[in-house]
Chain A
Amino acid sequence: MAKHGTTHFIAQRITALALVPLAIWFVFALLSHGGDNRAELMEWIAGHPWSVAIPLALLILIGFYHMRIGMEVIIDDYIHKPDLRGWLHFLNTFVALVAGAIALWSIIAITLIA
């Protein structure tokens, strides 16, 4: 995973900046819906596609991407066996893709299908 350090560096910072407002919004949104049951939460997402579903999707996409590149730095730092490092990079990307896809699909399903 060497080379192209700068692309990585910029991506990490831009996603970090984007996550600041999204994470603050998410915390406040969750706090104000703390007492909701499942149906009410689904309605909250499905009923506000622009103000809830889309920010939520952005949070998931950017969050998982940021997590993946952050994890990549940690793996590069601490793992000393090149083979193991390669495998962990693969696993890292795989987990981020699968978890991100499931979360994104859930929002699409709640908003457009359910």
Chain B
Amino acid sequence: MVELTLPRNSKINSKGKSYKGEKSASSDKAPEMRTFKIYRSDPDSGENPRVDTYEIDVSDVSMVLDALIRIKDTLDPTVTFRRSCREGVCGSCAMNINGANTLACTKGMDECGSGDVAIYPLPHQPVVKDLVTDLSKFYEQHAAIEPFLQSDDEPEKEHIQSHEDREKLDGLYECILCACCSTSCPSYWWNGDKDDGNEYLGPAALLQAYRWLQDSRDDEKSKRLDYLDDNFRLYRCHTIFNCTSVCPKGLNPAEAIAGIKRMMVERAK
């Protein structure tokens, strides 16, 4: 039947630890203590996940990623998370902050309200450790839509594209594959990796599929649409719009999916 409850080994136990930090040495402002509740999981240990509490001075911290780095640096070096560019370009630090998927590096402390800050990994993905999830399936789905130019032309120099045609790709090509959108989608949670041959590709892969469907230089539109014409791959999108509301790059995967559906209907006429 429908799977609404968490598997037994995913339930959070009550063994969370508490850590209390001191006033920041690098800050000349009055200390501003904030509490972070961070999901801690180490599947290899066989123990269930727990939520640890960290209190740190954030008077000189601007972004949530900076706060995480301070926690790792000063309180608990075992807190595990991915990060790289710290400017919203690489997509590594995607996680669930105060209930919404986003990039820790572009989420300001001033956007976190006044209460505790809850930090969890991206929902419904296998956890490798703490905030690090296994995105293999997500990347597989991105590869499945063949995200590269397939043209019949072999120009001597380059493929020419008009300014108007190039503009059609704005809002599509900027995706950084952080997986915030797909892992915020309930339909993707339930159908992203359902069973053999039945899987919803998710908003991120579909946004990229649409990016190539819209590319004036690409000659494989029909093949691309054939691949997507499936009850599961495309039509599990039930226009929930979580993808659009969480995208840290301000993109609109829901609109792209609607665009693919429109192309499908027009092709069927």
A: residues with CB less than 8 A from B are 1-10, 73, 76-82, 84
B: residues with CB less than 8 A from A are 1-3, 187, 190-191, 194-198, 229-236, 238, 261, 264-265, 267-268
Q: Check A9–B261 contact: CB distance below 8 A.
A: yes
Nearest-neighbor residue (CB-CB) of A76 within chain B: B231
Complex CA gap A84/B194 in Å reads: 14
Set of chain B residues within 8 Å of A77, measured between Cβ atoms: 187, 190-191, 236, 238
Least distance between A12 CB and chain B CB atoms (Å): 10
Which 4 interchain pairs have the tightest Cβ spacing?
A: A5-B235, A78-B2, A6-B264, A5-B231
Complex CA gap A4/B267 in Å reads: 13
Q: A2-B198, A9-B261 are in contact. Are A76 and B232 (CB under 8 A)?
A: yes
Set of chain B residues within 8 Å of A82, measured between Cβ atoms: 195-196, 198
Set of chain B residues within 8 Å of A80, measured between Cβ atoms: 1-3, 190, 194-195
Contact of B229 among A1, A5, A73, A78 (CB under 8 A): A5
Interface SS, A side = helix
**Beyond the given A2-B198, A6-B264, could you list 20 further A-B residue pairs with CB under 8 A, ordered by the A residue number?**
A2-B232, A3-B229, A5-B233, A6-B265, A6-B268, A7-B268, A9-B264, A10-B265, A10-B268, A73-B235, A76-B191, A76-B198, A77-B190, A77-B191, A77-B236, A78-B1, A78-B2, A80-B2, A82-B195, A84-B1
Set of chain B residues within 8 Å of A78, measured between Cβ atoms: 1-2, 190
Nearest-neighbor residue (CB-CB) of A82 within chain B: B195
A-B contacts, 25 of them at CB < 8 A, read A1-B231, A2-B197, A2-B198, A2-B231, A3-B230, A4-B229, A4-B230, A5-B230, A5-B232, A5-B235, A6-B229, A6-B264, A8-B231, A9-B235, A9-B264, A73-B235, A76-B231, A76-B236, A77-B190, A78-B1, A78-B190, A79-B2, A80-B2, A80-B190, A84-B1
